[in-house]
Structure 1
């Protein structure tokens, strides 16, 4: 079975053109006219495909590489097989990403589930909704009263857009996603099954048990944000929940009410961010980390996977652990704990012999 059957090969681009577009230098000028039509992993790429290698860990696979070309650093270029074109660049993975965007552009955003190119007759659209020219609404999508959607946006099959929601231009709302109480900028991608703008989890104890607190805020999603499948972003309680420009959020992330996330952040799968937490610009959070409510994480901070952030985090640091603390201390503590555990096992074995 062809592993690339869902993304057909490109018609072909010369290494001369590709290297120029990706900021790379072709090690052997005689290979300028060689064409590439697709991408592949270092171990699997074959004829007509381009790949990349980033470190000494890749040397065994690089030695057996059968790709048409490979992005490498200058230091690794000498290890590229003679029949493979070496594209020398400071950051091979970044250059490969640019090449991939050229060779398989359809993989950059969700594909449509239907052949609809305009407004499907099987969609439900309130007469008061305002859609600019060029909007695609696929079958079984629901557009509620007062919705505004900009040109070039796609509302995929089965998606539901709540009353008064505004969606900018060139956005993609994935299959069966729901968006309500929200304002979206341009070029926002929301993957299938995401839930945006439902009420936050707000209760207070009362004489009759837990009293529900009405959530009347919004979700503000700025330009170039991407939100993964199954992710939930609650609307604000009194203020807004805000996702900053260029931020990328993985699948299965929970973002509670009043959370404010800065620009160009990366939040990996299964992260949970409790209410009213604030993330600065360029924050990176590893998978399954938990962020306590009302904490602030400074610009450029990095939180390791599986960490628990209980208090404020300064800008520019790397923290990890439970509770999260500076990475060096966390690693030292982890090493000491492993040493103690290993020592106990050794002593127990020694006593049994």
Structure 2
């Protein structure tokens, strides 16, 4: 890719200002007036670009670097070519992320597709809804009776906001997403196609078949949560489904009814969380993992991708595997399986097949 054509470059930020904004130190203050307009990887960064490096393992890529500036740890400053300005930061990737957000603000959340302000004449907003000044409702979106939406929030094209829902300020509700029976905080991003607040999967067996159990709860999404495209968050049965402040949920995730997710968690794509699971703060769950219902995942736990969790996970633990277990036990089991397979294959070397 030559340039991010859907996100035009910035008019330019002086390096001195950029360093102050992202909490970095400009190694050579004489370069504080150099303008940076865009970002690029190490392999093709040019004089107007900012790039970054996180590890000495990639130090050979600094040879011949033509970038305008690079974010790096102070220990790598001597390796940066003289023509490249070094922005020194203790966490280079985080500092680079802040810089990229300043250079490409339109990439940070779904925006209106029509560049309209206010309520599109082709949208439907019920007279009983309450919208603060500065709300944008895009083409074909629907806002139901009694809904309340805060200033600066964008309701994307063909999105549906159900009756009585409350959405805070500076949120983005992506195109073709639906929000029902939900209370949403400030600065929340919901990507296209997400389904928030539909009834959970609850049935009771009977001689006549499965009886649907009414799902009477809500979804509560706290501030600064981000929910990926085509993710489903079911409302609670008689309690609430809760997504804690600052949590980031990837695309194609299923969150069952009554699930409670703590603050600042990371849940990667295709995770399936069954009903009534409780997840502590700062938990990380790898992609493709399944978690059985009514379990407890302790604060700070990390679960490897493609795991199947069938028991409570202690706080700060690292688990993985099918079924999931402590990571050391999982790795030991895998090593033993490989050793047994190798021994069997060695014994079969030179054996003639049966006639």
Structure 2 counterparts to residues 102-251 of structure 1, below 5 A: 102-251=102-251
Question: Paired residue for 1:281?
Answer: 281
Question: Paired residue for 1:26?
Answer: 26
TM-score under structure 1 normalisation?
A: 0.96
Q: Deviations over 1:131-158 (max 9, x none)?
A: 1111111110011111111111111110
Unaligned stretches of 5+ residues in structure 1: none
Unaligned stretches of 5+ residues in structure 2: none
Question: Paired residue for 2:59?
Answer: 59
CA contact (8 A) 1:143 1:160 kept: yes
CA contact (8 A) 2:112 2:136 kept: no
TM-score under structure 2 normalisation?
A: 0.95
Question: Paired residue for 2:323?
Answer: 323
Question: Paired residue for 2:10?
Answer: 10
Q: Distance in 2 between matches of 1:201 and 1:185?
A: 25
Q: Deviations over 1:246-295 (max 9, x none)?
A: 11111100000000001111111000100000001111111111111000
Question: Paired residue for 2:46?
Answer: 46
Question: Paired residue for 1:300?
Answer: 300
Q: Distance in 2 between matches of 1:349 and 1:79?
A: 52
Rate the CA distance shift 1:337–1:183 in 2: closer, same or farther, 3 A. same
Question: Paired residue for 1:257?
Answer: 257
Q: Distance in 1 between matches of 2:150 and 2:298?
A: 34
CA contact (8 A) 1:43 1:64 kept: no
Secondary structure in structure 2 of the residue aligned to 1:78: helix
Residue 31 of structure 1 deviates from its aligned partner by 2.4
Aligned residue pairs total 353
Secondary structure in structure 2 of the residue aligned to 1:264: coil
Question: Paired residue for 1:82?
Answer: 82
CA contact (8 A) 2:27 2:86 kept: yes
Secondary structure in structure 1 of the residue aligned to 2:242: strand
Q: Deviations over 1:187-246 (max 9, x none)?
A: 111000000011101112100111111111110111111100000000001111001111
Rate the CA distance shift 1:294–1:114 in 2: closer, same or farther, 3 A. same
Pick which of 79-88 and 6-15 moved more.
Answer: 79-88
Q: Distance in 2 between matches of 1:40 and 1:284?
A: 28
CA contact (8 A) 2:111 2:172 kept: no
CA contact (8 A) 1:37 1:103 kept: yes
Cα RMSD of the aligned pairs, angstroms, is 1.6
Q: Distance in 1 between matches of 2:115 and 2:36?
A: 29
CA contact (8 A) 1:37 1:48 kept: yes
Q: Distance in 1 between matches of 2:42 and 2:248?
A: 26
Q: Distance in 2 between matches of 1:69 and 1:348?
A: 59
Q: Distance in 1 between matches of 2:337 and 2:47?
A: 49
